[in-house]
Structure 1
Amino acid sequence: MFTWSVLIIILSYSTQCWTHGSLYTDAGKSEKTCKPLKSFSVDIKCNRNGLEVDCTKPVLNGTTAEISCKPFFHFPPYDNIPSFYNRLACVDGLWDYNLLPCIPICGKKNEKSKRVRRIIGGGNTGIGEYPWHVGIYSKRTIRKKTVYSQICGGSIINPKVVITVAHCFESKDPKNYGVGAGKYYRPWKDNRDENAQLRNVEQIFIPESYKGLSNNFANDVAILVVNDPFVFDNFVRPVCVDWTTNTKKDLLKMGSIGFVPGWGVDQEGGKKSAVLKDIQLPFVPYDECYSKSDQNFRPIVNLADKFCAGRTDGQNICKGDSGGGLAFQGHDVHHSGEIFYLMGISSIGPSKTGSCDPTKYTTFTKLSHHAKWAQNIIKIHTSAYKDFNGWSLDS
């Protein structure tokens, strides 16, 4: 039920007023109205008696609404909302069906990306090749000017939420951080990043059990809620997440290859990369990772929320890559083809003379281990969005 302040409207020399979801005229007649239709994921076109109507306001009986998924959203298993759901009618003050949300198309690389030319031993990505990858930036004030420094990576999992690792955040004050999506160049504002979407961090969530080095970086995971939703396009889109253990069993096994992008150090002891790079890292079974790790690194390998991936040939991730998502290609259950699922988050690797050791395996935080914690936060703290199959989308 909507409560409206009485509003006098002069229309065709007659007086009309809205109150409590009904339209009253000077003739004393009243007509019930249907509530406004608003959606983050659905395009809505309304008309009444052949005339276009604004459905973001209460509408009269007889109004119809044609609905379809916005670009970069779909209605699984269909590409768009099927015909038996895509038309609503305002009847006796109520819409005859609920407005159904669409969900984002996830885990798709930008097909239009162009690889410019392979993190240590890695190579340059194409622009927009990993549309879910973001840079996380610390903010400092120097001489009354805000300076941004890229410190970590992260992955978009819904329009308001980025997932990364806890050890990126020395300060827990969200005002000290920003998130850059759709970026290829590392600097916060680079004129060449025509597709960048820059956001402030509104909230930071880290498990209470995370204690850093004193607990071997167990529970090294963090969720960021940004101030404004990302607008999905060719260059900014989420990675797929399966909160069940089904995908983990299929993808985290011997022979699986994961992909991780980042702006981290591109050679041992070197500087951070100026452009986004990526590398392919094979999943490493526990026994092999444990046996080939140094004694002082084995307690981290032993953690229940970690798994190993990497190489021993001098190609690996390094400082600045923390928080980046390790995504594996899996089957799209709704359509033919392959999509990328986020399985791990770059956590801790062995060090060598103060830098990373590209000849050792790296640990990744296992996303499935923190599924319940993450889902609860997403549901509670993106409450302006309705939850639909794990996504928080519609207002």
Structure 2
Amino acid sequence: GLGTAAPDSNPLGAYACLSSGDWSPELPRCTLQCEPLVKPHVMFKCEYNSAEVNCSNYMRPGTVATYECDLFYTLNNKLVRDDNHCLEEGKWLLDPPQCEPDCGVPNPLVRNVTLTVAHGVDTKDVLEFPWHVGLHMRNSSAGILEWSNHCGGSLISPHLVLTAAHCVHRRDEFIRLDKKDLIVTAGKYRRDFYETEKHQQFSAVKELIVPKAYSGFHTKDAYDITIIDLEQSFEISNYVLPICVKIGNIDLENTEGTVVGWGYTENSSFNNGQHGVMSPILYKTYLPLMTWEECRQFMRRPPYNPRDHSTNNFLDHLTPDKFCGRFVNGSGPQPGDSGGGVFVAKDKKWYVVGVTSLKDRANTMAALTNVGFIDHQKFIRETMTKYRRNQQ
């Protein structure tokens, strides 16, 4: 730390050695001071002898510091004290706290939404789900390069996005997309990349992190999960906020999951082999969830036909690392909604429990990559640790 002497202890600046062996005046005693308190997203308040002092300067022993996190941030250790003390040896009693982005907090600006994913509900332009992001791909049309919405994703930290692995591959050739051909948008209500919105943010892609076990159609779309590391961290607000990642498996019994997206709507005839209408705005719908085992039994219930190629193809791709969401009145994720999260609310917070992977042709069931699957938990945990950024 830094040392100081008492002010005006010797205005002449001279000292005499007396016959007694003492100095006159008495030599000053240097006091070690504590380091300044400066930490991202932490607001400090410091007092010395009941008077406020600047926390960004060195401070004397006896200084007391209190702190709180910026808006949209929370202490990473809930048990930490909310005060700190500068000790005589020039060290703080405790290490400075770490504030991390809060997660899964509903946008407080949301009011009742109006009824109108297919047959879904308008999420309103106040962004009820501020963790949902758009993944846009660069296309060349008539020699003109343009960005178009390709998939969805879930923000799990200011710079990490959880999505589906097939969203970052060319399906037919199983070729990884060039990261330069992808861009991620947050804070958007409208699908159109070029329609400017007040709270929107953009970032290029720094890295695509895909599980080694993913091989697309070759392995029946198992391990259909990916994390995107963004070039630039998003600024956290009511409109852009990470969602919490569910640790461990969730009890799916009597559980309803929420999915959102800009995919095909009820005006689409996609299931008849024709491309239809993509939603221009963000829609949500609710899916009763069921386990992998329950889903397979449900799909094989009468009048199941063992020769039904469509159902069998869906069952082939319903790998053990997935669970299902059942369509209700034809409402469920469609092409264009892939990569978006499956959200569940618990204890006033939202958690991502799945990633939209695929659906059956008859719009009966959606297969969702299980975030709680042990391999996926390890993948997410290790990736978030490896790619952690200190400036958060």
Same fold (TM over 0.5): yes
Q: Cα deviation per residue 1:298-340 (whole Å; 9 max; x = unaligned)?
A: 1222x1211111225321110110011111122x2xxxxx322
For 2:142 and 2:108, how far apart are their aligned partners in 1? 43
Q: Cα deviation per residue 1:338-357 (whole Å; 9 max; x = unaligned)?
A: 32221110001123xxxxx4
| Corresponding residue number in structure 1 for 2:109 | 112
Q: Normalized against structure 1, the TM-score is what?
A: 0.76
For 1:135 and 1:90, how far apart are their aligned partners in 2? 50
What code does the residue aligned with 1:231 have? E
| Corresponding residue number in structure 1 for 2:349 | 339
State which of 208, 217, 221 in structure 2 corresponds to 1:217.
221
**Change over 3 Å in CA distance of 1:289–1:136 after alignment to 2:** same
Report the Cα offset of residue 48 of structure 1: 6.7
State which of 340, 346, 350 in structure 1 corresponds to 2:360.
350
For 2:350 and 2:286, how far apart are their aligned partners in 1? 13
Report the Cα offset of residue 297 of structure 1: 1.6
Counterpart contact for 1:66–1:88, Cα < 8 Å: no
| Corresponding residue number in structure 2 for 1:156 | 155
Q: Match of 1:340, SS?
A: strand
| Corresponding residue number in structure 2 for 1:261 | 260
State which of 265, 271, 286 in structure 2 corresponds to 1:280.
286
| Corresponding residue number in structure 2 for 1:175 | 180
Report the Cα offset of residue 73 of structure 1: 2.3
Counterpart contact for 1:328–1:340, Cα < 8 Å: yes
| Corresponding residue number in structure 1 for 2:73 | 73
Q: Which has the higher strand share?
A: 1
| Corresponding residue number in structure 2 for 1:14 | none
State which of 189, 196, 202 in structure 1 corresponds to 2:206.
202
Report the Cα offset of residue 104 of structure 1: 3.3
How big is the alpha-carbon RMSD for the aligned residues of Structure 1 and Structure 2? 3.1
Q: Structure 2: which 5+ runs fail to align? A: 3-27, 170-175, 271-275, 301-310
Give runs of ≥4 in structure 1 deviating > 6 Å. Answer: 28-31, 141-145
For 1:205 and 1:38, how far apart are their aligned partners in 2? 33
For 1:152 and 1:299, how far apart are their aligned partners in 2? 23
Give me the identity figure in percent.
28
Counterpart contact for 1:312–1:361, Cα < 8 Å: no
Q: Normalized against structure 2, the TM-score is what?
A: 0.77
| Corresponding residue number in structure 2 for 1:124 | 122
Larger Rg: 2
Report the Cα offset of residue 181 of structure 1: 1.2
What code does the residue aligned with 2:283 have? K
Higher mean C-alpha displacement, 235-244 vs 90-99: 90-99
Report the Cα offset of residue 37 of structure 1: 3.8
Counterpart contact for 2:86–2:92, Cα < 8 Å: yes
Q: Match of 1:373, SS?
A: helix
Report the Cα offset of residue 122 of structure 1: 0.8
State which of 72, 94, 97 in structure 2 corresponds to 1:97.
94
For 1:349 and 1:39, how far apart are their aligned partners in 2? 46
| Corresponding residue number in structure 1 for 2:312 | 295
Report the Cα offset of residue 33 of structure 1: 5.5
Report the Cα offset of residue 285 of structure 1: 3.9
Q: Structure 1: which 5+ runs fail to align? A: 3-27, 333-337, 352-356, 386-392
